[in-house]
A and B are shown apart, each in its own frame.
Chain A
Amino acid sequence: MGIRKYIIKSLITSIPVLIGATFIVFLLMYISGNPVQVILGEFATQEQIERLNRELGLDKPIIIQYFLWLGKVVRGDLGYSLMSKLPVIQLISERIVPTLMLTVTAFLISIILGVLAGMISALKHNTKTDDLISTIVLIFFSTPYFWFATILLWISAVYLKMYSLIGPLTIQRLLLPSFALGLPTSAVYAKIMRSNMLEVLNQDYIRTAKAKGLREKIILYRHALKNSLLPIIALAILRIPWLVGGAVITESVFSWPGIGTLMIDAIYRRDFPVVQGIILIIVVLIIISDIIGDIIISLIDPRVRLE
Chain B
Amino acid sequence: MISVRKIFATIMRKDITFQSLETVNLWKYIITQLLRNKKGITSLGIISVLALIGIFAEFIAPYPYDAQDLQNMLRPPSIGHIFGTDALGRDVLSRIIYGARITIFIGFAITFLTAILGIMLGLIAGYFGGVIDMIISKIIEIFWAFPIIVIALGLTVVLGPGIRNVILVLGILLWVPFAKVIRTKTLVIRENSFVKYAKAIGLPSIKIIIKHIFLNVVPDIIVLFALTIPDAIISSAALSFLGLGVQPPTPEWGAILSDGRLYLMIAPWISVFPGIFLLILALSFNILGDVLRDVLDPFMRGRK
Contacts and interface: CB of A to CB of B under 8 A. Distances in A.
B145 A287 contact: yes
Interface in B208-267: 230, 234, 237-238, 241-244, 254, 257, 261, 264-265
A24 to B, nearest CB: 7
B181 interface: no
Contact of B275 (A25, A139, A150, A286): A150
Contacts of B234: 144-145
Interface in B126-148: 138-139, 141-142, 144-148
Contacts of B148: 241-242, 245
Interface stretch (A77-85, A151-159, A172-180, A205-213): A151-159
Given A21-B145, A286-B147, A290-B145, A157 B244 contact: no
A88 to B, nearest CB: 14
Given A20-B138, A28-B155, A150 B144 contact: no
Interface string A109-149: 00000000000000000000000000000110111111110
Interface in B277-296: 278-279, 282-283, 285-287
Given A150-B264, A270-B157, A282-B150, A20 B279 contact: no
B153 interface: yes
Interface stretch (A3-11, A49-57, A272-280): A272-280
A172 B148 CA distance: 29
A17 interface: yes
A249 B287 contact: no
Contacts of B145: 17, 21, 241, 283, 286-287, 290
A287 B148 CA distance: 14
B201 interface: no
A32 B286 contact: no
B107 to A, nearest CB: 12
Given A20-B139, A144-B237, A147-B275, A157 B150 contact: no
Contacts of A278: 150
B77 to A, nearest CB: 15
Contact of A157 (B146, B265, B282): B265
A252 B153 CA distance: 13
B144 A241 contact: yes
B286 A244 contact: no
A275 B157 contact: yes
Interface string A241-256: 1101110110011000
Nearest to A16: B138
A28 B139 CA distance: 16
A248 B155 contact: no
B268 interface: yes
A139 B271 CA distance: 18
B272 interface: yes
Interface residues of B, number: 43
A267 interface: yes
Nearest to B234: A144
Contact of A144 (B138, B155, B265, B275): B275
A245 B230 contact: no
B150 A147 contact: no
A154 B264 contact: yes
A267 B244 contact: yes
Contacts of B272: 151, 154
A234 B206 CA distance: 37
B238 A249 contact: yes
A71 to B, nearest CB: 21
A147 B147 contact: no
A262 interface: no
Given A144-B282, A146-B241, A282 B139 contact: no
A31 interface: yes
A238 interface: yes
Nearest to A153: B264
A248 B157 contact: no
Contact of A249 (B141, B151, B242): B242
Contacts of A32: 157-158
Contacts of B157: 32, 267, 270, 272, 275
Contacts of B241: 146-147, 249
B147 A142 contact: no
Contact of A242 (B147, B278, B283): B147
A263 interface: yes
A289 to B, nearest CB: 10
Query: Top 5 closest A-B pairs, CB basis?
Result: A147-B275, A245-B149, A245-B147, A142-B283, A142-B282
28 contacts: A17-B141, A21-B142, A25-B154, A142-B283, A142-B285, A142-B286, A143-B279, A146-B237, A146-B241, A146-B254, A147-B241, A147-B278, A150-B257, A154-B265, A154-B271, A157-B265, A158-B265, A241-B146, A248-B150, A249-B242, A263-B150, A267-B153, A267-B156, A275-B153, A275-B157, A282-B147, A287-B145, A290-B145
Given A28-B151, A147-B278, 18 more contacts: A17-B138, A142-B282, A147-B275, A148-B275, A150-B271, A151-B272, A154-B271, A158-B265, A238-B144, A242-B148, A245-B148, A248-B147, A248-B150, A249-B149, A263-B153, A272-B157, A286-B146, A287-B145
Interface of B: 138-139, 141-142, 144-151, 153-158, 230, 234, 237-238, 241-244, 254, 257, 261, 264-265, 268, 271-272, 274-275, 278-279, 282-283, 285-287
